[in-house]
Amino acid sequence: MTQLRIAILSVGDELVLGQIDDTNASWLARRIPALGVMAGERRTVGDDQASIARAIVELSRTHSAVVVTGGLGPTLDDLTREALADAIALASGESRAPLEEDPAGIAHLRKWFEEKGRVMPPLNRRQALRPPGTSLLANPNGTAPGIATWSSAPLCVFCLPGPPREMQPMFDAEVAPKIAVDGAVVLTAALHTVGLGESSLAAILGELMDRSRMPSVGTTAKAGIVTIRIRAEGNVIDAQRALDATVDVCRSRVSNIIFGRDEDTLESSVGALLLAYGATLATAESCTGGLVSARLTDVPGSSAWFKGGFVVYANERKMEDLGVPSSVLDEFGAVSHATAVALARGALRRTTSDYAISTTGVAGPTGGSLEKPVGTVFIAIADRARAEVCSRRFQMTGSRQTIRERSTVMALAALRNALLDNPLQSLLWAESERVHVEPL
Amino acid sequence: MTQLRIAILSVGDELVLGQIDDTNASWLARRIPALGVMAGERRTVGDDQASIARAIVELSRTHSAVVVTGGLGPTLDDLTREALADAIALASGESRAPLEEDPAGIAHLRKWFEEKGRVMPPLNRRQALRPPGTSLLANPNGTAPGIATWSSAPLCVFCLPGPPREMQPMFDAEVAPKIAVDGAVVLTAALHTVGLGESSLAAILGELMDRSRMPSVGTTAKAGIVTIRIRAEGNVIDAQRALDATVDVCRSRVSNIIFGRDEDTLESSVGALLLAYGATLATAESCTGGLVSARLTDVPGSSAWFKGGFVVYANERKMEDLGVPSSVLDEFGAVSHATAVALARGALRRTTSDYAISTTGVAGPTGGSLEKPVGTVFIAIADRARAEVCSRRFQMTGSRQTIRERSTVMALAALRNALLDNPLQSLLWAESERVHVEPL
């Protein structure tokens, strides 16, 4: 496996100030491994010549090449050209040479403005400047040419313009071919699970997560979903084989809680099951207020298995739309097993669907009580075939948003387990305090 | 203005590989200036002990302090604790000391799992480890305590957990007070607008956006909402005065399209209006599939003005739940002015609300036709007081997700304009092709 590692340097005050997100860096970080090269460190510096130069030199010490985005514009705060010349001088120990004007660059700029029927503003002339011994990279989508030190200088640096629609094509056309390593790739797989906490899952994966292991296995957690991330390196055949083998080992240990791979989502996996069974689904949402339906309808083609849902936020809607008896609301309250069951039952009856999900809880920040503090959530699944409604009580923590998100994930996970009649189902309910089942 | 500069270091393979976006870094970059400190360099390194340690040491050379996020989890690929010990040894030139177990940390972990009625997995014990001479930072929202070298060691480093809902409160409670500088501040204001494109808005703001201007004025656009960002520096009194003055100038130019400031959202501003009017709202969603309801119920206290909604994805739901005549669906189709009007009318009648929003459209990727290509969306507002239903046709572009998001924003914006009887309403419909009004 190649040891080539490419660093990514983003330049711009607006990035350092967090005024815009650095989408260029994440795009490059996803693109580079596909070329068989490791994505290395990422840095963000402001529009400061010394900081840019220092970052280029430092990153070059630990990486095979540095891809710089931003700072190639025509204005005085675009300093990447000058900083690159500083960096070359620093790295070579030679004296700092002034920038040269590139004739091809001037021609490109003249043509660009001519085609737009405009005169080139004097400021843009700066965009044709580059350090001696470097070469320009063509930019068919904007005024700023890129700059490459490839085959020159003591450094390997590629400077690209900041706008994504200029940077991305330039990277693919001018940079990728130069850094790509034939035959060598970095392949990744993501296995998404729901039902176990990150540490419990790690305990099961055990030695697979040793840092020294290849392919490497790691985990990340987000809103109730824990993802197993696998990375294999080498020539395309060995890497694929090794990746598949590790994926199989992981599956063999926690198959029941893996709901999808890579781009799969919990909602798309539930949709695929419903489609396969030819079954349909309806929702009755109180505390999630439409989040479950929104996630389900985010799946293309969901109309085949999702008929509709009811956001029954107020009690009168619970009664009028889904026939929740007022006696149930009076006796047990809107946040209870009885109401969750009645909501799921009502949605099932009203829509003639095969399954119905209901949610009711205290999302906060107010509305909590001693017996039902903020984070108390009841989730019920009505199953026409089994003629059964199963409600579970959860105690969740976090902000209103977190409680609503986790409730949505738990509702979809509960449906998935019902669809699969999942033996590991119990695992999912580590945080489920009580279960209540009654006939439809 | 202080010269204190704080560096931000993000740790995680999933970040380096671009598998998830680094939202922590941008959040910190926005937060730090409010403390009167400059946000400095940002770096992202993988789960590699040597890289983390080297980054901490290098950043410490050029910055007053380093805030590290991630790598404090319980698993073997969480290496920030060990790397911090390495960094302290490197910087002090003393020998590398082994990590110590912090009794308070163990107590916190025990309590955390006890409260959840669970036994602490052995792996989590690692989360109580810290380098000698450092101190733990309390984490009320998760298992991982933070680590601070403050007042110890040759470095000033704050290590925070990766999950935003744990990291953000910990930064505000434990880190901000330690790095804040009295007197000097960077104050920012964000004015959120809907109704004008970014370039049209920029044309109105004109010279306010000159780069040399203080306070500075910029714009950022996201999913149909354009935000005016204002930034003032100096001592707290002058900065506040300058900020307020610039905010007033901006308001004087585009007041009608500004719906909120800073943390305000379009949904919270709509909710505030409904609350002020003592009016209630219902929704009837087809193409947005619950997104409008989900955004509305994301607002704390929304139950005061939002009664409920109907996700009428299938035609039979449109007919059965909201009484859309089959003749309308047959003659005009589900994606039409007539259906949008019937949906809004149905939701209004069924819920006795004062206002109703309806959406119906082709979100794609399939389902488009010549007359109604993907991105065709009808949004209707039913207004009981005016005894009127107004439907608008939009032609949107982008992915299924973008079309659904923009439809949600446009629906909320349409309601806001109806509530305000907004004279600038017409602006909003730059992309609205046709308007259709009929009596309730």
Judged by CB atoms closer than 8 Å, whether chains meet at B75 and A45 is answered as no
Closest CA to B116 of A201, A429, A205: A429
Judged by CB atoms closer than 8 Å, whether chains meet at A365 and B300 is answered as yes
Neighboring chain B residues of A75 at a CB cutoff of 8 Å: 211
Closest CB to A19: pick one of B23, B123, B229.
B229
Judged by CB atoms closer than 8 Å, whether chains meet at A41 and B55 is answered as yes
Amino acid at position B133, single letter: G
Output the pLDDT for position B198: 77
A28-58 confidence digits (pLDDT tens): 998 888 787 888 999 999 889 999 999 999 9
Judged by CB atoms closer than 8 Å, whether chains meet at B297 and A306 is answered as no
Judged by CB atoms within 8 Å, which residues 255-294 of B form the interface with A? 283, 285, 288-294
Closest CB to A309: pick one of B12, B33, B290.
B290
Structure tokens at B64: 């007053």
Q: Is the pTM of this model over 0.80?
A: no
Neighboring chain B residues of A411 at a CB cutoff of 8 Å: none
Judged by CB atoms closer than 8 Å, whether chains meet at A307 and B293 is answered as no
Domains, chain A, ordered by start: 5-179 (3.40.980.10), 184-261 (3.30.70.2860), 266-439 (3.90.950.20)
Q: Cβ of A351 under 8 Å from any chain B Cβ?
A: yes
Cβ–Cβ < 8 Å for B236, B185: yes
Closest CB to A303: pick one of B44, B141, B313.
B313
Closest residue in B to A221 (Cα) is B163
Closest CB to A188: pick one of B17, B45, B401.
B17
Judged by CB atoms closer than 8 Å, whether chains meet at B311 and A310 is answered as yes
B92 CA to chain A: closest CA distance, Å?
Answer: 21
Closest CB to B41: pick one of A45, A219, A430.
A45
Judged by CB atoms within 8 Å, which residues 47-76 of A form the interface with B? 51, 54-55, 58, 62, 75
Cα distance between residue A108 and residue B370, in whole Å: 40
b/e A195-229 (16+ beta carbons within 10 angstroms → b): bbbbbbbbbebeebbeeeeebbbbbbbebbbbbbb
A101-140 confidence digits (pLDDT tens): 999 999 999 998 888 788 888 888 999 999 998 999 999 9
Tell me the CA distances in angstroms from A27 to A42, A168, A185, B15, B19, one per residue in order: 12, 8, 17, 11, 10
Output the pLDDT for position A422: 65
Closest residue in B to A205 (Cα) is B75
Structure tokens at B316: 């039979």
B17 CA to chain A: closest CA distance, Å?
Answer: 5
What is the secondary structure of A193-205 as a DSSP string? E-SS-HHHHHHHH
Tell me the CA distances in angstroms from A63 to A37, B55, B95, B311, one per residue in order: 11, 14, 28, 52
Question: Is residue A344 over pLDDT 70?
Answer: yes
Q: Cβ of B169 under 8 Å from any chain A Cβ?
A: no
Cα distance between residue A331 and residue B382, in whole Å: 36
Closest residue in B to A294 (Cα) is B290
A153 CA to chain B: closest CA distance, Å?
Answer: 25
Output the pLDDT for position A438: 85
Output the pLDDT for position B432: 52
Which of residues A292 and B423 earns the better pLDDT score? A292
Structure tokens at A261: 């791979």
Judged by CB atoms closer than 8 Å, whether chains meet at A55 and B41 is answered as yes
Neighboring chain A residues of B6 at a CB cutoff of 8 Å: none
Residue spans of beta strands (DSSP E) within A239-370? 258-261, 281-285, 306-312, 355-361
What's the residue count for chain A? Answer: 440
Judged by CB atoms closer than 8 Å, whether chains meet at B40 and A16 is answered as yes
Residue in the structure block whose two tokens are 């107010």: A366
Cα distance between residue A260 and residue A189, in whole Å: 11
φ, ψ for residue B65, nearest 5 deg: -155, 160
pLDDT tens for chain B, 440 residues long, are: 446 789 999 999 888 887 778 889 989 998 888 787 888 999 999 999 999 999 999 999 888 899 999 999 998 889 999 999 999 999 988 899 999 999 999 999 999 999 888 888 888 999 999 999 899 999 999 999 999 996 556 788 999 999 999 999 999 998 988 887 766 677 889 999 998 877 788 889 989 988 788 898 988 777 789 899 898 887 778 888 999 999 999 999 998 899 999 889 999 999 999 999 999 999 999 999 999 999 999 999 999 999 999 999 999 999 999 999 999 999 999 999 999 999 999 999 999 899 999 999 999 999 999 899 999 999 999 999 999 999 999 988 888 998 999 999 999 999 998 998 764 454 455 445 567 888 88
